[in-house]
Structure 1
């Protein structure tokens, strides 16, 4: 943990000039943003080797009224949506939860600013803390970053 999972409408998989987003670069920016979050004692909140951002286009989707209001407003009917959910292990403070949310939201606002200005799009950022009933981790990534 933590894992940031992005679900998005596949109409965003086009060039930026056509209303798309470079999802790979967005994932990198969000991962870097997560790694920048510090707790109350100025420690990195998320372990470098355990931080992952994954994005998946939806195979099927429906949004709002299907585009009628967008057409009437002169914005087109090509609605888009992005849902981002970061899930972290239990035990962090409310301040850390807020810092994570604000950091990710600032990144999102910057990345999607051109989208918000040109097209009907919704973006949700959600932070969840989980109570695991089973949690096994197998990794050869952590040793790369846990050198002391």
Structure 2
């Protein structure tokens, strides 16, 4: 964790660099620091996944409408200031990446951040984390 999942209308793939957007969002997540200068997210756990909607309906269907929904799921324990800073940073990346499209036609962007509260199971197996947890 954290996982940032993007769901979007498939028409955006014609106009947007979705793989580049994923990388920019992941890099932005990795740049985030808390009030003490500590990384907010672990490198090995940071993931951005993007999926075009196989089926969708946006608004009244009478226009060339697009939409992207971004949901960041993170563990508990971060302050509201960190939540806001992370959200503002990610939304800025989404706006910058999709800005030209937003000026050409109606496109909605939603970003939500959820904490994984009340988990009843959290199983993990990873060979990624050790790659980044080495001390020099």
**2:31 paired residue among 31, 36, 40:** 36
SS in structure 1 of the partner of residue 11 of structure 2: helix
The runs of 4+ residues in structure 1 deviating greater than 6 Å are none
Rounded Cα–Cα distance in structure 2 between residues aligned with 1:116 and 1:40:
33
Count of residues in correspondence between the two structures? 134
**2:90 paired residue among 101, 104, 114:** 104
> Are 1:88 and 2:83 an aligned pair?
no
Q: Which has the larger Rg?
A: 1
Give the alignment's Cα RMSD to 1 decimal. 0.8
Rounded Cα–Cα distance in structure 2 between residues aligned with 1:39 and 1:133:
27
**1:133 paired residue among 117, 120, 124:** 120
Rounded Cα–Cα distance in structure 2 between residues aligned with 1:136 and 1:90:
16
Rounded Cα–Cα distance in structure 2 between residues aligned with 1:134 and 1:91:
18
> Are 1:2 and 2:2 an aligned pair?
yes
TM-score between the two structures when normalised by the length of structure 1: 0.88
Measured against aligned partners, the alpha-carbon deviations of 1:76-110 in whole angstroms (never above 9, x if no partner) come to x2210000000001111111111110110111111
TM-score between the two structures when normalised by the length of structure 2: 0.96
Rounded Cα–Cα distance in structure 1 between residues aligned with 2:130 and 2:97:
32
**1:51 paired residue among 29, 46, 53:** 46
Residue 13 of structure 2: aligned partner:
13
Q: Offset of 1:136 from its aligned partner?
A: 1.1
Q: Offset of 1:130 from its aligned partner?
A: 1.3
Gaps of 5+ in 1: 15-19, 68-76
SS in structure 1 of the partner of residue 48 of structure 2: strand
Rounded Cα–Cα distance in structure 1 between residues aligned with 2:16 and 2:67:
12
Rounded Cα–Cα distance in structure 1 between residues aligned with 2:30 and 2:120:
26
